[in-house]
Amino acid sequence: MTQQLNPPATPEEQTPAAPRPNGTSKIKALVPGLLVCGSVALAATGINFLLPAVSPLLLAIVIGAIVANTVRLPSSVGPGLTFAAKTLLRLGVALLGLQLVLGDVLGLGFGMILVVVAIVVGGIIGGLFIGQALGIPLARRLLIACGMSICGAAAVAAVDGVIEAEDEDTATAIGTVVIFGTLMIPLIPLLASAMGLSQEMAGLWAGGSIHEVAQVVAAGGMIGGGALTVAVVVKLARVMMLAPVVTFLSIRQRRLTGSSGKRPPIFPLFVVGFIAFALLRSTGALPELVISIGHQLQVIFLTVAMSALGLGVKLAVMRNVGWRPFVQAAATTVLVAGIALGGILLVR
């Protein structure tokens, strides 16, 4: 018996292949999420205008988290949120290099530079051991340790770009930075006053122990004019440690991944940009207008990026991670502040 074959489908009956998205459609897909992030960033900027002591980056995270837990956002915002949390964040971190003048950092002296290295290295290693003792997964405790030791939420997001971390790990680390970094703003000036530290010493301590650049500025302003400049320079010296730390972690991740899977570059592009901008600023060749524009773009990119990260913070997720990350964050904060104070008293 001859088997009857079905005739080939006519062109009209064939299912057309899904069109590949072009550049215009990709950009359109980003618009909803970027509009939401932009709205949160504008709200944070407006509140910062009324309350200059509060960082717009931290406000963006907090407002984003409130929105994420009170409003059901459509799935269409996803691509834009991802773009802001990754691409804009990395652009902002790269532009952060324009704040660095290597001469100012070198002006701290060899002893103080060693103290900064000890703060970052000791804070990360100590934070990892604390997190391990608490039974916290490696990626989560690494993000928390880096956030507390280097430069807060920007460090968390930068490290997240080269290691395999879950969204809840990143959200938890950023949440702890917001909480404990904010607590340090009034605490360091009060403790410095109680211990009778000079304004310069108190400024060095604030720059060596507080998490975010904006938080350091706020604390330095509370201590006094003599503290603000040195506090910011020490903090920016800690920010410089972001480049070698991220590069080291990127190389480590490549070894763990091996030949299979996605391997991060040895020198992530945003780290190369960060170093290049820092070197360019240090030459003194850049006009003040260019530096000012670069600073404004950095603030805009990072505020929008922090809005996206805040919009990814879910209270249900935070409840699921439990109390252990907050204990690690508190203990690492104390450790970093202790290393900073001990080092400053030793070299000054």
Confidence of residue 229 (pLDDT cuts 50, 70, 90): confident
Report which of residues 317 and 20 the model is more confident about: 317
Would you call 13 exposed, middle or buried from its count of C-beta atoms within 10 A (0-12, 13-18, 19+)?
exposed
Q: 142-173 burial, b if ≥16 CB within 10 A, otherwise e?
A: bbbbbbbbbbbbbbbbbbbbbbebeebbbbbb
**DSSP-derived 3-state class of residue 12:** coil
CA distance 246 to 155: 9
Confidence of residue 342 (pLDDT cuts 50, 70, 90): very high
Mean pLDDT to the nearest integer, 210-218: 85
pLDDT at residue 3, rounded to an integer: 47
Mean pLDDT to the nearest integer, 192-213: 93
Mean pLDDT to the nearest integer, 294-312: 89
pLDDT at residue 258, rounded to an integer: 65
pLDDT at residue 22, rounded to an integer: 63
* pLDDT of 241 strictly over 60: yes
Mean pLDDT to the nearest integer, 28-39: 94
CA distance 35 to 73: 12
Would you call 2 exposed, middle or buried from its count of C-beta atoms within 10 A (0-12, 13-18, 19+)?
exposed
Listing DSSP states for 109-133 in one string gives -HHHHHHHHHHHHHHHHHHHHHHHH
Nearest residue to 201 via CA among 188, 182, 183: 188
CA distance 235 to 252: 26
Q: Which two tokens stand for residue 84?
A: 């802001």
pLDDT at residue 19, rounded to an integer: 55
* CA 56 centroid distance within chain: 13
Asked if 303 and 213 touch (Cβ cutoff 8 Å), the reply is: no
Confidence of residue 282 (pLDDT cuts 50, 70, 90): very high
Of 76-85, 191-200, 216-225, give the lowest mean pLDDT range: 216-225
Asked if 336 and 89 touch (Cβ cutoff 8 Å), the reply is: no
Report which of residues 202 and 89 the model is more confident about: 202
CA distances from 16 to 7, 11, 26, 233, 236 (A): 18, 9, 21, 60, 56
CA distances from 155 to 47, 122, 185, 312 (A): 24, 16, 19, 17
pLDDT at residue 306, rounded to an integer: 85
CA distance 92 to 299: 7
Mean pLDDT to the nearest integer, 196-208: 94
Confidence of residue 314 (pLDDT cuts 50, 70, 90): confident
Asked if 335 and 122 touch (Cβ cutoff 8 Å), the reply is: yes
Backbone CA torsion sign across 96, 242, 275, 254:
negative
* pLDDT of 217 strictly over 50: yes
* pLDDT of 130 strictly over 90: yes
pLDDT at residue 1, rounded to an integer: 43
Phi, psi of 292 (to 5 degrees): -65, -45
Q: Which two tokens stand for residue 128?
A: 């990892």
Mean pLDDT to the nearest integer, 299-327: 84
CA distance 192 to 301: 34
Confidence of residue 263 (pLDDT cuts 50, 70, 90): low
pLDDT at residue 234, rounded to an integer: 94
Of 108-122, 139-153, 212-226, give the lowest mean pLDDT range: 212-226
Asked if 187 and 193 touch (Cβ cutoff 8 Å), the reply is: no
* pLDDT of 14 strictly over 60: no
Hunting for tokens 């590069």 — which residue is that? 247
pLDDT at residue 261, rounded to an integer: 60
**DSSP-derived 3-state class of residue 339:** helix
- What spatial distance separates the first Cα and last Cα of the chain, rounded to whole Å? 100
* pLDDT of 16 strictly over 60: no
Mean pLDDT to the nearest integer, 171-195: 89
CA distances from 112 to 42, 116, 227 (A): 38, 6, 15
* pLDDT of 2 strictly over 50: no
Sorted by sequence, the CB contacts under 8 Å of residue 5 that are 6+ apart come out as none
Q: Which two tokens stand for residue 345?
A: 């008293």
CA distance 86 to 166: 14
Query: CB neighbours (10 Å) of residue 308?
Result: 28
